[in-house]
C-alpha cells in the first residue's frame, strides 16, 4: 500500500511500524514534518514557547554543575589549561627553592670574599634578597 507524501506529494511506502506515516522518508520531508508539528503544537498550546524557555531554565537550575560537567565531558580544553597552570606553578616553585638554597652560600661567600669592604657586601646581600623575590 502506498501513500502520498504531504510535503513533496510523491507516493511512498509507509514504514510497517508506522502505518500513519504521512511524509516520505526523505530528510527534507521529515524536516518539514517536524516543522509543521511544532507549528501545530504552538497554535494549540500558547504556552508552548514559554514552556520551552522555562524548561531550559528549570533544567539549568537542576543542573548547577552543568559547566563543570561540560568541562569534564570536553577534557581537552580544561586539561590543557590545567597542565599549563601546573607547569607554571612548578616553574615558580622550582625557582623559589633554587633561590632559597642558593641564598645562604651566596651570603656567606660574599661576606667572606668582601671582608673589610662593607659597601660591596651590602650590595651583594641586597642582590641576594632581590633574587629571593
Nearer to Zn ion, 21 or 26 (CB): 26
Measured CA to CA, the distance from residue 61 to residue 12 in angstroms comes to 45
Number of residues that bind Zn ion (CB under 5 A): 6
Taking residues 4 to 43 in sequence order and writing x for each that binds Zn ion by CB under 5 A, - otherwise, the string is -x-xx---------------x-x--x--------------
CB atoms within 10 A of CB 33: 17
The window from 3-11, 52-60, 81-89, 90-98 that contacts Zn ion (CB under 5 A) reads 3-11
Residue 128 sits in the site that holds Zn ion (CB under 5 A): no
CB atoms within 10 A of CB 124: 17
Measured CA to CA, the distance from residue 108 to residue 96 in angstroms comes to 19
Amino acid at each position: 500500500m502506498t501513500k502520498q507524501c504531504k510535503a513533496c506529494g510523491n507516493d511512498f511506502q509507509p514504514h510497517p511500524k508506522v502505518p500513519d506515516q504521512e511524509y516520505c522518508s526523505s530528510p527534507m520531508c521529515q524536516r518539514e514534518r517536524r516543522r509543521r508539528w511544532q507549528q501545530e503544537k504552538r497554535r494549540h498550546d500558547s504556552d508552548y514557547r514559554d514552556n520551552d524557555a522555562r524548561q531550559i531554565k528549570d533544567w539549568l537550575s537542576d543542573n548547577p554543575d552543568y559547566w563543570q560537567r561540560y568541562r569534564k565531558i570536553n577534557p581537552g580544553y580544561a586539561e590543557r589549561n590545567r597542565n599549563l597552570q601546573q607547569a607554571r606553578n612548578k616553574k615558580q616553585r622550582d625557582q623559589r627553592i633554587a633561590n632559597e638554597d642558593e641564598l645562604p652560600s651566596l651570603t656567606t661567600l660574599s661576606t667572606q670574599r668582601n671582608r673589610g669592604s662593607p659597601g660591596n657586601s651590602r650590595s651583594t646581600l641586597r642582590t641576594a634578597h632581590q633574587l629571593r623575590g
